[in-house]
Amino acid sequence: MTKTHLIVSGVARSGTTALAELLNSHGQVVIGIERYKFRYLRENVYDPVFFERDRFFDFQEDDTNLRPEARPAWAPVYDRIAEKWDTARVVGDKVPDLTPVLEDFLDAQPATRCLYILRNLKDVGLSWQTRADKPRDKWPQGKHFGAACESWEEQMAGLQALFDTRPEIKERFLLIDYDQIYRPETPTEAAILNFLGLDPDPAFSATLEKHRAFAAGRPERKVPPEWAEAYKAVDQAAARGLRKEARLQTARWAAA
């Protein structure tokens, strides 16, 4: 069966893992968890052979640190991927922070589509800071709220620049707005299914509802005072334009 190739990305801590979980709940989708992040980000290699079965399950140290033998928590995910592989319509990978190399990635894989999740700067920064504050977390302490502001601004501007210079490439994207995706009135399910050419799936619907319930229960948080100036200094114009585009794309694909 010919499979659609998909790359899932966004700024780190934008909800890419939850989005991959949602996608993998569908019986026709198999998405790796940072399966080839070292190849993409360290070596700038984007070989379409990565999405062939034999290579996908040949876990190499130079591929990623999230190999099942090194991170047993991910083993069940890959066991389920193996079970679904032959009948899956969509195969792909989830790797955050790919924005600087997305153009090269998509040029190397001209049939691949991209699901890109957008999350507001405040919540991305707070998530970076929470990870940085945990002494036992492998997240670097230097990746704090201020560093998140820099990365977020660069990636939002970079993605908008890609769309400005390569408007045709936008047709291969579905932008997802994190702040809208789990709202009941947002046609998230129809948009994703139509974008990827998938049938309805009860497990996908149930997982989406689970994520909606979790998102609805998240408390509102404020920018820490020590990072207020860094937050205010960020140019958010590109992000506002991208979020508008996300609303338009979601509506268009939901109606397709």
3 state SS of 212: helix
Tell which residue, 96, 249, 251, has the closest CA to residue 173: 249
Residues 59 and 139: their CA atoms lie apart, in Å, by: 23
Number of domains in the chain: 1
pTM of the entire structure?
0.96
**Which residues have a Cβ under 8 Å from the Cβ of 212 and sit 6 or more positions away?**
182, 183, 184
What does the pLDDT look like over 237-248, one tens digit per residue?
A: 999 999 999 999
Look up the CATH number of the domain holding residue 75. 3.40.50
**Which residues have a Cβ under 8 Å from the Cβ of 69 and sit 6 or more positions away?**
59
Task: Answer yes or no: is pLDDT of 13 > 90.
Answer: yes
**CB distance 33 to 17 below 8 Å:** yes
HSE-CB of 8 using CA atoms within 13 angstroms: 28
For the chain, give the percent of residues with pLDDT over 90.
92
How big is the chain, counted in residues?
A: 256
Q: Which domain holds residue 149?
A: 4-254
What does the pLDDT look like over 100-114, one tens digit per residue?
A: 999 999 999 999 999
Give me the mean pLDDT over the 23-28 stretch.
98
Q: Which residue has the tokens 């990072």?
A: 227
Give me the mean pLDDT over the 219-225 stretch.
92
Task: Answer yes or no: is pLDDT of 136 > 90.
Answer: no
